Amino acid sequence: MTINGARILLPTVYNCLIFAILLPLFSTADDILLPLDVKSKCPGAEDAITKAVTNAVAGNKGLCAGVLRLHFHDCFVRGCDASVLLDNSTANPNPEKDSIPNKTLRGFQVIDAAKIAVEAYCAKNKSCPTNGCDPVVSCADVLAFAARDCVKILGDFFYDVYAGRPDGTISIAQEAVDNLPAPFFNITQLQSSFAKKNLTLEDLTVLSGAHSVGVAHCSSFEDRLTSINSSQINVAFANSLKQKCTNGNVTVPQDYVTPDYLDNQYFINNLNNTVLFFSDFALRTNTITEDYMEQFGNNYKLSNPNTWKDKFKCAMQKMGRIIELGPNQGEIRKVCSAINVS
């Protein structure tokens, strides 16, 4: 189905309410994502990706936070088409990867390792020509599955992912600047940015919870330390950051309480004015998003202690189904950093 110019691919089975409502509206097979093992005609493909991702981040779980950010930055520009993975080339001389918002992306090696592993696994039992098998799993799908696996590694919860995202062949740096929400955005700008992707204020708040893992460069929030507004940032917290941020290239944890665990601590921190970005604090300036934050920040006092995690699973599934390429467009890349050569 197409909403606001973006094609949203729906699964055959999906337990989140929004898609239960929308499901009857699709009419063609082109609008359905399928389980990876079915789509790729390669039983075990999903497990091959999971094993590769687990091995790739074994010595540095922080890479998983990078993979989550990669997936987000991919889906917000041209949909989930792996355009963020493309290197500079004649076809794409100024790709998304080289844009200012994407200069600090990491985790590319995790996706490369998973792509190599799944294609090797799927080729193992095939009779391929001398020049090798055609690829069967798109890089966009690999990235979506890797992000899901990283959620399991960092937060110990799981959600289903379906396959069928084509890889794009176009990547433009300016489009990353134009589409990605910036750390200095106010709530109006954030709401507009997410609405363009058919994501709601609830989705915005829920997905912001990913800021409970990973690190941030001091340059992305140093303006908040220049003139400290005690109504927006805890003074002791700000002074601590000042001591650590000796220059803009220094990195600090986004969540100083549970920095390596994907949980609801981000919302508790935000309610206590101990978050890094102005865009984080901006969620406090809207009654709807602030109410969501209070729900998620206090969710361990509720009858369902997994309130935020359940919402996060649905929001990740929803974001992962933003597809702007039409049927029969795109390709399945052989190498994630380069388009296929005819």
Q: Which residues are known catalytic residues? A: 73
How many Å is the Cα radius of gyration of the chain?
A: 20
CB 77 within 8 A of CB 179: yes
Task: Note whether 248 and 140 are within 8 A (CB).
Answer: no
**Residues 6 or more apart from 296 whose CB is under 8 A from it?**
205, 206, 209, 264, 267, 307, 308, 311
* 255: amino acid identity, one letter: D
Bridge partners, 135 (sequence order) = none
Q: Which token pair is 299?
A: 């969710």
Q: How many residues does the chain have?
A: 342
Rounded distance, CA 72 to CA 312, Å? 13
Binding site residue list for substrate: 181
Rounded-to-integer distance, Cα 261 and Cα 164, Å: 30
The DSSP-derived string for 132-145 is -PPP-S-HHHHHHH
